[in-house]
Amino acid sequence: MRKVKLTDWKRIGYEEAWDHQTQIQQELIAYKRGRLEDGRDVEHQFVFCEHEPVYTLGKSGSMDHLLLSEAELQEKSIHFHKINRGGDITYHGPGQVVGYPILDLDDFFTDVHKYVRFIEEAIIQTLASFGIHSDREPGYTGVWLPATNTLPRRKICAIGVHLSRWVTMHGFALNVQPDLTYFGHIIPCGINDEDKAVTSMELELGHTLDVSAVKREIAKQFQQLFGWEWSESSDKKLIFAANDTHE
């Protein structure tokens, strides 16, 4: 049984988290190539965190999709980073659950499209456990809510990944209860369609949520889909310290 270390970095700056991810990814690559000089084992990791307000632009994105000037970003205390994941521009901030699976897919399956579909499915099943029906939008990554008579298609989770020698980094950002006005300063994921919008769990359900319960459900869904066990070094309190009360 493959084992994965579960950790929670809590609130962390985006650049610091990116550096940590890169270090873990490079150690996993060196480990599987037999080039880790100290001889220690290196674990797959699944990281939760939350960021201060930041816009990130993927390597295939357009600067035209950022609607603020540098001076306006500074005025609003929003950071901005061009990064090496796929996809376009998105927002991270308080009230999101951000997840970074850092996995050597040689130990699971070497299929990037399947990997992204698994991330989507884990979020879809998580949302279902909270009473939110969601699905996929053909031609786009991420998780969406169906249109209604009064509401357009709504994106609730963004996904962007980067792989090097089949070792992953970056991941997903689920809108639990963020301030959605930040999305008004960008063209989220480069999607400028009038029939598509951004939403959150809080907005859909009409009440605030226990973020820890959301994290536990996400962790459970990933574990079931990928068929791993949590390693002994995991922060198991994140999953087992309290019972889920959202049902």
Torsion over CA: 126, 129, 131, 134 (sign) = positive
Using CA atoms, how far apart are residues 151 and 111, in angstroms rounded to an integer?
A: 35
Q: Which of 6, 169, 189, 239 is catalytic?
A: 189
Task: For residue 147, give the H/E element and its range.
Answer: none
Q: Is 49 annotated as catalytic?
A: no
Alpha helix positions (H), the chain: 14-32, 70-75, 112-129, 201-205, 211-226, 237-240
Task: For residue 4, give the H/E element and its range.
Answer: strand 3-11
Single out the residue of 15, 236, 189 nearest to residue 90, CA to CA: 189
Using CA atoms, how far apart are residues 93 and 118, in angstroms rounded to an integer?
A: 24
Torsion over CA: 170, 174, 176, 178 (sign) = positive
- Token pair recorded at residue 89: 């521009």
Using CA atoms, how far apart are residues 101 and 168, in angstroms rounded to an integer?
A: 7
Instruction: Indicate which residues carry an active-site annotation.
Output: 189
